Amino acid sequence: MRFDSGYWSWATISTLERLEVGYTMGVRMVKSLRAVIQTIPESAWRSIEYPDGGEAQVAECTYNERRLIVRRTRLVGPQAELWPDWRHFCFLTDLGGDAVDLDCFHRDHATIELAIRDLKEAGLEHTPSGHFYANSAWLLCAVLAHDLMRWTALLGDLIEPGQLTVARTMRQTLVAIPGRLVSRSGTPTLRMPRDWPWQRAFERSLGLLRALPLHPV
């Protein structure tokens, strides 16, 4: 299980360890933790990938007899005056493996939060009725649409594995396709835009989805 620092609790950690549940848990920057971080030698810090204009490093030590992974970041270049010092982000874990890999694994929990936010924006920001069962149906429809959007993106090869699917982007680029229904010699014809920037992606994805084997009934 992965937790941000809002869930940090020694009681929770003890329970997870008693139940033999692996965890990574963010830790708030209290005074005792800062003192432990200061003991990490400079030679222990390892650089990791970070966006241009900044740098990040990872190291590990022990805090309260448990493994502590520490990531520090700061700005470099012209923007360094705004953020000249290192900022530290820490989590405790009982997992084995390389510290850099564990740091990447722990930070991936933010993807879940973005997916939840995406679901809220797609229909769960409010419930439309004062009746429980109507809102229950609304919830089921919203979750089904949420899942269908992600399966479409995954099976249609629209995103890289592990990349977040943003429903708003999908709707704007591949669902809400601009077009006009016209009549030619009495035959309804759907005219699509000639220079639509997502045409090839749509056609390729549609071909992949149509090629999927049908599930036996």
Report yes or no on 215 lying in a domain. no
Lowest average pLDDT, out of 55-64, 135-144, 208-217, goes to 208-217
pLDDT band at 80 (very low <50, low <70, confident <90, very high): low
Q: Which of 89, 107, 125 is the last residue of a domain?
A: 107
Q: Are residues 125 and 139 in the same domain?
A: yes
Report yes or no on 216 lying in a domain. no
Q: Are residues 117 and 97 in the same domain?
A: no
The residue segments making up the domain with residue 84 are 2-107
Cβ neighbour number for residue 178 with a 10 Å cutoff: 8
- How many structural domains comprise the chain? 2
Across 194-199, average pLDDT:
84
Residue 6: pLDDT over 80: yes
Q: Are residues 79 and 102 in the same domain?
A: yes
Q: Are residues 175 and 195 in the same domain?
A: yes
Lowest average pLDDT, out of 42-51, 133-142, 154-163, goes to 154-163
Q: Are residues 176 and 141 in the same domain?
A: yes
pLDDT band at 61 (very low <50, low <70, confident <90, very high): very high
Q: Which of 74, 107, 140 is the last residue of a domain?
A: 107
Across 16-29, average pLDDT:
94
Q: Are residues 91 and 145 in the same domain?
A: no
Report yes or no on 158 lying in a domain. yes
Contact 1, 21 (CB under 8 A): yes
Q: Which residue, 29, 26, 90, 34, is CA-closest to 58?
A: 90
Report yes or no on 137 lying in a domain. yes
Q: Are residues 42 and 95 in the same domain?
A: yes
Residue linked to tokens 């699917």: 165
Q: Are residues 9 and 94 in the same domain?
A: yes
Q: Are residues 83 and 166 in the same domain?
A: no
What are 100-111's pLDDT values in tens digits? 999 999 987 777
Planar angle of CA 59, 65, 68, nearest 5 degrees: 25
**Residue 98: Cβ-neighbour burial (10 angstroms; 0-12, 13-18, 19+):** exposed
Q: Are residues 125 and 200 in the same domain?
A: yes
Across 191-212, average pLDDT:
87
**Cα four-point dihedral sign 12, 18, 19, 24:** positive
Across 169-193, average pLDDT:
84
Residue linked to tokens 């950690």: 13
**Residue 58: Cβ-neighbour burial (10 angstroms; 0-12, 13-18, 19+):** buried
Q: Which two tokens stand for residue 135?
A: 């809102």
Report yes or no on 19 lying in a domain. yes
Q: How far is CA 162 from the centre of its chain?
A: 8
Q: What is the pLDDT of residue 128?
A: 84
Report yes or no on 147 lying in a domain. yes
Contact 90, 33 (CB under 8 A): yes
Q: What is the pLDDT of residue 211?
A: 92
Q: Which residue, 91, 88, 65, 66, is CA-closest to 5?
A: 91
Q: How far is CA 106 from the centre of its chain?
A: 11
What are 31-50's pLDDT values in tens digits? 999 999 999 999 999 999 88
Give every CB contact of residue 140 below 8 A, 6+ residues apart in sequence: none
Q: What is the pLDDT of residue 90?
A: 95
Q: Are residues 115 and 20 in the same domain?
A: no
Q: Which of 92, 107, 122 is the last residue of a domain?
A: 107
Higher-confidence residue: 46 or 113? 46
Q: What is the pLDDT of residue 76?
A: 77
Q: Are residues 116 and 51 in the same domain?
A: no
Report yes or no on 157 lying in a domain. yes
Lowest average pLDDT, out of 61-65, 160-164, 210-214, goes to 160-164
Report yes or no on 89 lying in a domain. yes
Residue 89: pLDDT over 90: yes
